[in-house]
């Protein structure tokens, strides 16, 4: 089955069975996500019911909203959000990138996908309905560790869509008319006993819960309905397993091979002899031929692993469904980009649009003649209507990690860095990594820098495991650290209260700062690179709200260089390294 047919079949199964309301497509081209969402909406007979949710979607965008009232009487009215499925046909919720889905949409997905009933009590609304919307999400396999396991568990249908490419027409084949009739009928066949046993054989139940078993059984029932069968048999289960990428060969189907015979002193092979051994005929008793078991091969281009989170190291926070708590700068202005509105507690940072929309709800009650005249009437705004911006939290702590890869030879620095990495993780600090002397650096005369929202960024782990190169542009790395610390701690809008600069180096910088900036390798260096590093470190020592530590890699020649560097930084030296030589 080709990738287009596989994706088209999965969408038809999701449209047919409301229990398969979560569809996750791995490694899909982002340009194809809208067209696939429209295909799923067409199968649901609701081509216009496609809503996109992402990282910036807030609670006010999902459940209830205030909109202008069109018509002869000007005004505003409240309306239900796109996730409220009461009194409307089911639609499609499109998630372009599941790894970057916002907290509000993540909570909504965990609450509604696969739920039998949903309740809404918000701003005067009280509703109960059965969620029937289909969620279509895409995610890269190498980013699956960033997604909450509770959210991944809601997506029953997992399809590898890596081979699907955009083209001039629709990337999916047109579904047969029988599929559309089956979706409109909505009748699902029962599951035979043999099919249920086959589901148990194919899906291991070790710590995975019951959702995977139910998902495979539901996909088998949907495939049977699409094929016009009255009962889902074991063959439909195998077809469903091949659709999502599960292996259909059970361990008991394997043919046992001959056991290896132990060779003891009495059974050792005799030395070769010059004469040819006598040949004698051995007769075998006649027996019926036995057929070897067969196993279906995975489709070309499929990874064969619909649950990569079982073997992926987590790269998310410990509590991904809870709002992070961060301490901001005391007495400072509100920081962070607006993500919603809330009741105002002070007269600054007022959200004007949200305030006017809140007051518009009560104009008829406060002024009965508000909409009767033809002249524009000012709004009656009270203190209870004031709304302020709800802003995304910004980290109050910063870890700047300067890694000198040339000092790591034979040293496992994870144990020495663990306390500081745990500090950054516990406080959800922002992380800046500066790499010096990496073997695969684009320019060995320059240091490289990147910023991460937290320690869970996979680039941090890659930086800690990078091999060492030859050059050590320590002075350039410290100059990048100065620029980062000044921007995050000294500017007027800086939200960082405490910054920790952790320098892991032996202090032997053999690249002057001038060579790093001009890109020209020097002829003779001498002490110039070390002195440039000390001069730049003195600038860091004059910064406020910055604490500096130098991790010593252990005994070596010129061991005093780390002490000199720590004194210039205004910090201290932490003993590390493998120990005595």
Q: Which two tokens stand for residue 457?
A: 């960024």
Longest CA–CA separation in the chain, Å = 122
Under the banding of pLDDT at 50, 70 and 90, the label for residue 376 is low
The pLDDT tens digits for 513-550 are: 888 888 888 777 778 888 988 999 999 888 888 889 99
User: What's the CA gap between 437 and 403, in Å, rounded?
Assistant: 8
Give the 3-state secondary structure percentages of the chain, helix then strand then coil, rounded to 5: 35, 15, 50
Average pLDDT, the chain: 79
In this prediction the pTM is: 0.59
First to last CA, the chain: 61
User: What's the CA gap between 315 and 141, in Å, rounded?
Assistant: 13
Backbone φ and ψ for 390, nearest 5 degrees, come out as -95, 115
Rg of the chain over Cα atoms, rounded to whole angstroms, equals 32
User: What's the CA gap between 166 and 170, in Å, rounded?
Assistant: 8
350 contact partners, CB below 8 Å, separation of at least 6:
344, 386, 387, 388
Under the banding of pLDDT at 50, 70 and 90, the label for residue 252 is very low
The pLDDT tens digits for 540-580 are: 888 888 889 999 888 878 888 889 999 999 888 888 766 54
Q: Could you tell me the domains of the chain?
A: 1-56+84-186 (3.40.50.300), 187-247 (1.10.8), 347-391 (no CATH), 397-575 (3.40.50)
Under the banding of pLDDT at 50, 70 and 90, the label for residue 342 is confident
User: What's the CA gap between 537 and 49, in Å, rounded?
Assistant: 58
Cβ–Cβ < 8 Å for 532, 475: yes
Arithmetic mean of pLDDT, 171-178: 83
DSSP string, 335-386: -S-EEEEEE-SSSSSB-HHHHHHHHHTTHHHH-TTTTTSSS-------GGG-
Pairing of strands 397-404, 387-391: unpaired
Percent share of the chain, pLDDT over 70: 77
185 contact partners, CB below 8 Å, separation of at least 6:
none
């Amino acid at each position: 089955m080709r990738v287009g047919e596989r994706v088209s079949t999965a969408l038809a199964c999701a449209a047919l069975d409301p229990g398969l309301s979560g569809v996750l497509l791995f490694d899909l081209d982002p340009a194809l996500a809208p067209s696939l969402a429209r295909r799923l909406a067409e199968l649901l007979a609701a081509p216009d019911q496609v809503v996109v949710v992402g990282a910036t979607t807030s609670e006010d965008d999902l459940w209830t909203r205030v909109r202008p009232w069109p018509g002869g009487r000007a005004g505003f009215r409240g309306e239900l959000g796109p996730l409220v499925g009461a009194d409307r046909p089911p639609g499609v919720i499109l998630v372009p990138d599941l790894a970057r889905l916002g907290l509000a949409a993540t909570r909504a997905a965990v609450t509604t996908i696969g739920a039998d009933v949903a309740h809404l009590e918000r701003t005067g609304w009280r509703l109960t309905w059965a969620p029937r919307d289909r969620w279509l999400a895409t995610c890269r396999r190498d980013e699956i560790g960033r997604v909450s396991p509770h959210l991944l568990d809601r997506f029953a249908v997992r399809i590898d869509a890596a081979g699907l490419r955009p083209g001039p027409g629709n990337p999916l084949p047109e579904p047969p008319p029988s599929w559309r009739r089956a979706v409109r009928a909505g009748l699902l066949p029962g599951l035979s006993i043999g099919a249920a046993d086959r589901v148990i054989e194919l899906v291991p139940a070790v710590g995975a819960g019951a959702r995977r078993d139910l998902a495979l059984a539901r996909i088998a029932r949907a495939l049977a309905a699409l094929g016009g069968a009255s009962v889902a048999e074991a063959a439909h289960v195998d077809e469903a397993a091949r659709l999502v990428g599960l292996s259909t060969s059970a361990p008991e189907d394997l043919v046992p091979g001959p056991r290896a015979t132990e060779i003891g002193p009495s059974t050792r092979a005799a030395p070769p002899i010059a004469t040819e051994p006598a040949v004698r005929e051995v007769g075998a008793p006649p027996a019926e031929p036995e057929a070897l078991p067969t196993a279906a091969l995975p489709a070309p281009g499929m990874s064969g692993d619909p649950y990569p989170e079982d073997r992926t190291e987590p790269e998310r926070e410990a509590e991904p469904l809870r709002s992070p708590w961060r301490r901001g700068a005391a007495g400072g202005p509100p920081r962070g980009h607006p993500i919603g509105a809330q009741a105002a507690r002070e007269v600054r940072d007022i959200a004007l649009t949200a305030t006017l929309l809140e007051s518009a709800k009560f104009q008829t009650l406060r002024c009965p003649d508000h909409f009767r005249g033809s002249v524009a009437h000012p709004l009656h705004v009270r203190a209870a209507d004031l709304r302020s911006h709800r802003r995304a939290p910004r980290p109050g702590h910063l870890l700047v990690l300067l890694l000198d890869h040339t000092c790591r030879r034979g040293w496992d620095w994870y144990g020495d860095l663990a306390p500081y990495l745990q500090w950054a993780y516990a406080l959800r600090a922002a992380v800046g990594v500066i790499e010096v002397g990496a073997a695969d650096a684009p320019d060995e005369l320059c240091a490289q820098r990147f910023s991460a929202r937290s320690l869970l960024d996979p680039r941090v782990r890659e930086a800690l495991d990078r091999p060492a190169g030859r050059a050590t542009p320590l002075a350039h790395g410290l100059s990048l650290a100065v620029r980062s610390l000044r921007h995050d701690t000294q500017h007027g809008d800086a939200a960082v209260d405490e910054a920790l600069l952790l320098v892991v180096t032996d202090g032997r910088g053999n690249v002057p700062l001038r060579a790093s900036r001009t890109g020209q390798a020097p002829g003779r260096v001498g002490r110039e690179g070390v002195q440039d590093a000390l001069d730049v470190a003195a600038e860091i020592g004059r910064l406020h709200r910055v604490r500096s530590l130098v991790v010593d890699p252990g005994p070596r020649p010129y061991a005093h260089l780390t002490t000199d560097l720590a004194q210039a930084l205004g910090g201290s030296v932490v003993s590390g390294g493998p120990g005595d030589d």
